[in-house]
A and B are shown apart, each in its own frame.
Chain A
Amino acid sequence: MLYHLWVNEWKRLLKSPTLLLFTLLLPIALFIVVGFVVYSTVQEELDEVEMIIIDEDETFETKALIKQLAGDRTLAEQIDFINGGADLQKHLRNPKEAAAIIQIPEGFTEQLRSGKNESITVFLNDQIPFSSQLAQLFLESGQSYITSAQAGVNTVHHFYSSELEGKERKDVLQKNTIHFTFLALGRNDLFEMHEGVASGLLSWNDQAVLTGILLIYFLTYILLVSLFQPKENQAIQERLRLIGVTKAKQRLATFLFHISFSWIYLFVLVWMISKQFETYLPFSWPYVFQWFGIAMILAGLFMVTDRLINERASKWFVFILASIALLLINGFIIPPAYLPEYLQAAWLAPVRSLYIGYSSILTHNQWPWVEWIFILIGTGITLLLNSLPRKKVQR
Chain B
Amino acid sequence: MLIIWKSIFKRITTWVLMVLIPIVLGIIIYPMIKDTVSQVSVPITVVDQTDQAITEELLKEIEDSPFQVTKTESLDLRLLSTGEAEAIFVFNDELEANILSGNTDKIVTWYRTENSYVDGLFKEKLASAIMSRVVRAEAASIVSHYRPETEWDEVFKYGLKYFDPRPIFEMKFEHIHSAQNTSSIDSGNQLLFIIMWLYLSMLIGYFTKILYEWRTDGILERLKLLQQTQYYYWSWFIGVLAITYSFSFVAIQLIEVPLNNWAYFIPFGTVLICFLFFILVKKKWSMYAWLISYSVASFIIFLLADWQIIESEWMYLFIPTWLLG
CB atoms of B106 and A190 under 8 A apart: yes
Chain B residues, CB < 8 A from A144: 128, 131-132, 167
Q: How far is the CB of B125 from chain A (nearest CB, A)?
A: 9
CB atoms of A126 and B206 under 8 A apart: no
Residue A83 at the B interface, CB < 8 A?
Answer: no
Residue A195 at the B interface, CB < 8 A?
Answer: yes
CB atoms of A120 and B171 under 8 A apart: yes
Interface size classification for chain A? 35 or more
CB atoms of A313 and B176 under 8 A apart: no
Asked if A30 meets B173 with Cβ closer than 8 Å, knowing A227-B289, A337-B42, the reply is no
CB atoms of A34 and B304 under 8 A apart: yes
Q: How far is the CB of B283 from chain A (nearest CB, A)?
A: 9
Q: Name A337's contact: one of B86, B112, B146, B155 (CB within 8 Å).
A: B86
* Binary contact readout A214-245 vs B (1 if CB under 8 angstroms, 0 otherwise): 00000000010011000000000000000000
Asked if A127 meets B285 with Cβ closer than 8 Å, knowing A148-B135, A199-B83, the reply is no
Chain A residues, CB < 8 A from B135: 148-149, 151-152, 180, 183-184
CB atoms of B138 and A197 under 8 A apart: no
Bound complex: CA A77 to CA B294 (Å): 42
CB atoms of A190 and B174 under 8 A apart: no
Asked if A150 meets B289 with Cβ closer than 8 Å, knowing A37-B304, A191-B110, A337-B83, the reply is no
CB atoms of B143 and A151 under 8 A apart: no
CB atoms of A151 and B136 under 8 A apart: yes
* Binary contact readout A175-213 vs B (1 if CB under 8 angstroms, 0 otherwise): 010001001100111111111111111111000000000
Asked if A143 meets B113 with Cβ closer than 8 Å, knowing A126-B178, A159-B150, the reply is no
CB atoms of A190 and B169 under 8 A apart: no
Residue A339 at the B interface, CB < 8 A?
Answer: yes
Residue B263 at the A interface, CB < 8 A?
Answer: no
Bound complex: CA A200 to CA B114 (Å): 11
CB atoms of A159 and B172 under 8 A apart: no
Task: Tell which of A111-119, A274-282, A298-306 binds the partner.
Answer: A111-119
Residue A87 at the B interface, CB < 8 A?
Answer: no
Q: How far is the CB of A158 from chain B (nearest CB, A)?
A: 7
CB atoms of B134 and A183 under 8 A apart: yes
CB atoms of A95 and B176 under 8 A apart: yes
CB-CB nearest 6 A-B residue pairs: A200-B83, A340-B39, A199-B113, A151-B162, A152-B135, A187-B127
Taking A30-B300, A151-B162 as given, write out 16 further A-B residue pairs in contact, using a Cβ cutoff of 8 Å, ordered by the A residue number: A41-B309, A119-B169, A121-B172, A123-B176, A129-B308, A143-B169, A144-B167, A150-B169, A155-B162, A187-B130, A190-B108, A190-B127, A191-B127, A194-B109, A203-B115, A363-B115
> Which residues of A line the B interface, CB within 8 A?
16, 18-19, 22, 26, 30, 33-34, 37-38, 41, 92, 95, 101, 112, 115-117, 119-127, 129, 136, 139-141, 143-152, 154-156, 158-160, 176, 180, 183-184, 187-204, 223, 226-227, 311-314, 317, 321, 328, 334-341, 343, 359, 363
> Which residues of B line the A interface, CB within 8 A?
12-13, 16-17, 20-21, 24, 29, 36, 39-43, 77, 80-86, 104-117, 123-124, 127-128, 130-132, 134-136, 138-140, 142-143, 146-147, 150, 155, 158-159, 161-163, 166-179, 183, 206, 285-286, 288-289, 292-293, 296-297, 300, 304, 307-310
